[in-house]
Structure 1
Amino acid sequence: MPEYKQFPLSDTAEGLTEADILAWHVKPGDTVTVNQIVVEIETAKAAVELPIPWAGVVTELHVEPGQTVEVGTPILTMDVDPGGTAAPAPAPVAAAAAAPEAPAEEEMKPLVGYGSKAVVTKRRERKGSAPAAPAPVAAVAAPPAPASVVAEKPRGGYVPLAKPPVRKLAKDLGVDLHALSGTAGGVITRDDVERAANGSAVVQPSTVDAGYDPGTRERRVPIKGVRKATANAMVQSAFTAPHVTEFLTVDVTPMMELREKLKKSREFAGTKLTPLAFAAKAVCLAAKRTPDVNAVWDEAAQEIVYKDYVHLGIAAATPRGLVVPKIRDADSLSLKELALALTELTDVAREGKTTPAAMANGTFTITNVGVFGVDTGTPIINPGESAILAVGAIRDTPWVVDGEIVVRKVMQLSLSFDHRVIDGQQGSEFLADVGALLADPAVAITY
């Protein structure tokens, strides 16, 4: 006989309360295997693909792409014993109405590593009859959609559904995803983007105009996912930690000369060695002399927690918004190892594949505003940390050397820190150390 189970949206990261459904990889009637990827979601931190913990046949999809769903809400129903009967699954509402007996509770445990929250569904039975499908959980407010996964455009703003590599391709080719309608069940594919770039894509007015008001000439987009999480974190940090920002202008000509020399060496062959790698190494070295910058304020315990490791966060701009993946134990890595870690970290972030775990438990962050041609800024500290360093653009600048004005490679640094943890002296000493290491990398042998 058929046995129906509901698959809930699981907590893929500690504290997750909701997620957006990006795309379904299955439809009603599909046969799935254990751990097969069935849906792609966007959490407050990253895009995540969810596997199914059972094998069977999909009977219903309860939500559509573009919808925001609370954790614990059933998003899919499947028959895990399809060989028991050829009859279609009875409608949940009808099953509930036909069941006079008291419900038997069945606990559905989430996937391993997806949090500790369990969802309880109710199965109603009549003596001598086959079990009916589970009644819908109250969290599903709307009735299930027909057997289709084509997304209806959300009101208040069209959300183009596309995987990170497709978004990157669209950006590279100058294609506006908002002007396209996906051909794969509402999901925009690589072929859709390439056709648009060649001028052969069909643009649907309903897609282009979604969320746009001709009267005001404004377009509204719901605040979701990474953008929403970033906004909440920045507000929390700005109004919790008393920020202080200090600035330092540095002649980094020796660093740039060393960089060119190392790039030609056998040890660094094939390694992408950027000024950011030097900044990362300088931060790790300077933090050993000023451990306050790598500490954190614990409000609940009324303690300052000093950490003997540096999990270095690197702020990265992605199509989904700002993410800050971490280089674990960065203080134990050599300059080359940091350069390799930075390359891998940024490549994964740009593809939208950074996992929530990769963005957790940082101790210090670097934001490279120089890559955008910006000289400096006043960065906001990431929650759970006490300091953040902004690295500006390197410019040819008139500079006084031995009493004469010469052209040098100059950059600006800015350090924001939590004044509850770090006094002005410690912040100044740390920033001066970082500047000294970038101005003359040979200073590193004295640390």
Structure 2
Amino acid sequence: MTENTAHRFREFKMPDVGEGLTEAEILKWYVQVGDTVTDGQVVCEVETAKAAVELPIPYDGTVRELRFPEGTTVDVGQVIISVDVAPGGAASGEAPAATRTGTPAAPDSASEPEEEAPKGRQPVLVGYGVAESSTRRRPRKAPAATTTTVSAPVAQVPEQAVAAAVRSELNGHGAPPPGEFPAGSGGARPLAKPPVRKLAKDLGVDLTEVTPTGPDGIITRDDVRAAVAPPAEAPAPAAAPEPEPEPVSVGGQAVAAAGARETRIPVKGVRKATAAAMVGSAFTAPHVTEFITFDITRTMKLVDQLKADPELAGVRVNPLLMIARAVLVAVKRNPGINASWDEAAQEIVQKHYVNLGIAAATPRGLIVPNIKDAHAKTLPELAAALGELVTVARDGKTTPAAMQGGTLTLTNVGVFGVDTGTPILNPGESAILAVGAIKPRPWVHKGKVRPRQVTTLGLSFDHRLVDGELGSRFLADVAAVLERPKRLITWV
């Protein structure tokens, strides 16, 4: 590539969008080859181990290449898209590599040119081009430091696949079965894709005797099966097994296709990171979990009253909001619960702020964005922040920054009708509170058994920095505030 051409074609690399992450998966391309783009335009959406992020292009021009298809995991620093910033102004009069022949650009002068195939040769494998004779010298690869190549567009066969297919033929793995080349054929080989050749071999069919019906004289599976002549009283040989039906994705969840006995779901992105983090947390921090069951009827009545308050019109008031406020009050009374463990320094780091995490289940997996400086927010401000956090998470638009720096986490398992749980700590935090379902139960109230709204909280904490006394006092305080919500005022 000449200097002028290098300036004309600009390459955009996969950035580090998550502070130290090494890879990201391309979820969706918003542009195609030939589209015009402008500086700042979003061209694709990628998913890191923390969140889904939209990437803007920093150039004006025309899309020349998309280096990877959707669903590909790409290392940070790899080129994912190239842009022609001066369309219509080729430096050397040559067409761009992506539009000339549909093959990767030739290596520079540091590598030897590949010899041209003799005229009249037939492709050995359909879709892979012409194979070299076994007596010809293979092209020598140039050193990685001095070779400059232009990757093929997404729709083309990768160069590595072509090389692998040709090597397979040269090593004899693709040699035709005996009798496939008839006498006097001059070595001409029937055109058929590798799976069709395997089917013919399994069924004992001579491809030279099969009449092709596919485009450009290609033999198809149906052609091979049609050539099978079963014995008069014997069943036809069994055809090669068809592949299992592909799973269908509905709402981000894999759903088994009809007839499928199993569905395999790749673990990557957020789900992969969550799995690794949970394993690390479970086997690093010594977990202790405590439970408390109490009467939350008064808080539920307060929620109804606040919903009807004209001054809170437009504010989303719900039990989770009141539980979050109760947690913040309890943290103020027990600041030691809001801390982290510094393994390197062997120190407890107590936080004088609360970034309250809210565990959210999304189609891509569990994420924990947090409300920054939740301790300093008024009730309406906390309600607005909580509502925005949940909405953004459900839309899959949570940014990596929104999930960093959490100090304490709430997970609401009650929305699934679950009474309680033993939650695993979010890495780097000292405590996580599981909120169970709020249900009417018989309860002793003022000396009589009456139906009351009752719930159970489950608190897991890191026993390296939170002892049983501190964890118990914090959990008891949260329950006390929710049992008698006037303490939201008297305990502040």
In structure 2, what is the equivalent of residue 89 of structure 1? Answer: 96
The 8 Å contact of residues 122 and 135 in structure 1, kept in 2 or not, is answered as no
Alignment TM-score, normalising by the size of structure 1? 0.76
Alignment TM-score, normalising by the size of structure 2? 0.69
In structure 2, what is the equivalent of residue 411 of structure 1? Answer: 455
Matched, 1:372 2:377: no
In structure 1, what is the equivalent of residue 474 of structure 2? Answer: 430
Q: 1:135 aligns with which of 142, 146, 149?
A: 149
In structure 1, what is the equivalent of residue 362 of structure 2? Answer: 318
Q: Note the C-alpha offset of 1:99.
A: 5.5
Q: Note the C-alpha offset of 1:341.
A: 1.5
Matched, 1:263 2:307: yes
The one-letter code sitting in structure 2 at the alignment partner of 1:135 is T
In structure 2, what is the equivalent of residue 358 of structure 1? Answer: 402
The 8 Å contact of residues 34 and 55 in structure 1, kept in 2 or not, is answered as yes
In structure 1, what is the equivalent of residue 154 of structure 2? Answer: 145
More displaced stretch, 81-90 vs 44-53: 81-90
Q: Note the C-alpha offset of 1:423.
A: 0.4
Larger Rg: 2
The one-letter code sitting in structure 2 at the alignment partner of 1:358 is A
More displaced stretch, 327-336 vs 381-390: 327-336
The one-letter code sitting in structure 2 at the alignment partner of 1:90 is A
- Cα gap change, 1:260 to 1:417, in 2 (>3 Å): same
Matched, 1:10 2:10: no
Q: Distance in 2 between matches of 1:82 and 1:52?
A: 16
The 8 Å contact of residues 298 and 304 in structure 1, kept in 2 or not, is answered as yes
Q: Distance in 2 between matches of 1:98 and 1:72?
A: 26
Q: 1:32 aligns with which of 34, 37, 42?
A: 37
In structure 2, what is the equivalent of residue 253 of structure 1? Answer: 297
In structure 2, what is the equivalent of residue 195 of structure 1? Answer: none
Aligned with 2:387: secondary structure? helix
The one-letter code sitting in structure 2 at the alignment partner of 1:89 is P
In structure 2, what is the equivalent of residue 390 of structure 1? Answer: 434
The 8 Å contact of residues 157 and 219 in structure 1, kept in 2 or not, is answered as no
Q: Note the C-alpha offset of 1:160.
A: 6.7
- The count of aligned residue pairs is 364
**1:30-83: CA deviations, max 9, x gaps?**
221111111111111211111111112221111111111111111112222324
- Cα gap change, 1:95 to 1:83, in 2 (>3 Å): same
Q: Note the C-alpha offset of 1:225.
A: 1.1
In structure 1, what is the equivalent of residue 343 of structure 2? Answer: 299
**1:191-237: CA deviations, max 9, x gaps?**
xxxxxxxxxxxxxxxxx58xx8x4xx111111111111110110010
Q: Note the C-alpha offset of 1:388.
A: 0.2
The 8 Å contact of residues 158 and 221 in structure 1, kept in 2 or not, is answered as no
Unaligned 5+ segments in structure 2 are 112-143, 158-242
Query: Equivalences for 1:142-181 in 2 at 5 Å?
Result: 144-146=153-155
Identity %: 56
Q: 1:337 aligns with which of 354, 364, 381?
A: 381
Aligned with 1:267: secondary structure? helix
Q: Note the C-alpha offset of 1:145.
A: 2.7
Q: Note the C-alpha offset of 1:135.
A: 2.6
The 8 Å contact of residues 47 and 352 in structure 1, kept in 2 or not, is answered as yes
Q: Note the C-alpha offset of 1:402.
A: 2.6
Q: Note the C-alpha offset of 1:95.
A: 4.3
Q: Distance in 2 between matches of 1:90 and 1:250?
A: 70
Query: Equivalences for 1:146-295 in 2 at 5 Å?
Result: 146=155, 208=257, 214=260, 217-295=261-339
Q: Distance in 2 between matches of 1:177 and 1:253?
A: 40
- Cα gap change, 1:266 to 1:304, in 2 (>3 Å): same
- Cα gap change, 1:122 to 1:38, in 2 (>3 Å): farther
Aligned with 1:20: secondary structure? strand
Q: Distance in 2 between matches of 1:398 and 1:258?
A: 21
Q: Distance in 2 between matches of 1:440 and 1:357?
A: 36
- Cα gap change, 1:158 to 1:357, in 2 (>3 Å): farther
The one-letter code sitting in structure 1 at the alignment partner of 2:87 is P
The 8 Å contact of residues 47 and 353 in structure 1, kept in 2 or not, is answered as yes
**1:309-351: CA deviations, max 9, x gaps?**
1000000111111111111111111222222211111111111
The 8 Å contact of residues 247 and 254 in structure 2, kept in 1 or not, is answered as no
Flag the structure with higher strand content: 1
Q: 1:49 aligns with which of 49, 54, 61?
A: 54
Q: 1:66 aligns with which of 56, 65, 71?
A: 71
Q: Which is bigger in relative contact order (C-alpha 8 A, separation at least 6)?
A: 1
Aligned-pair Cα RMSD in Å: 2.7
- Cα gap change, 1:319 to 1:73, in 2 (>3 Å): same
- Cα gap change, 1:419 to 1:368, in 2 (>3 Å): same
More displaced stretch, 75-84 vs 228-237: 75-84
The 8 Å contact of residues 329 and 491 in structure 2, kept in 1 or not, is answered as no
In structure 2, what is the equivalent of residue 201 of structure 1? Answer: none
Q: Distance in 2 between matches of 1:402 and 1:257?
A: 17
- Cα gap change, 1:178 to 1:413, in 2 (>3 Å): closer
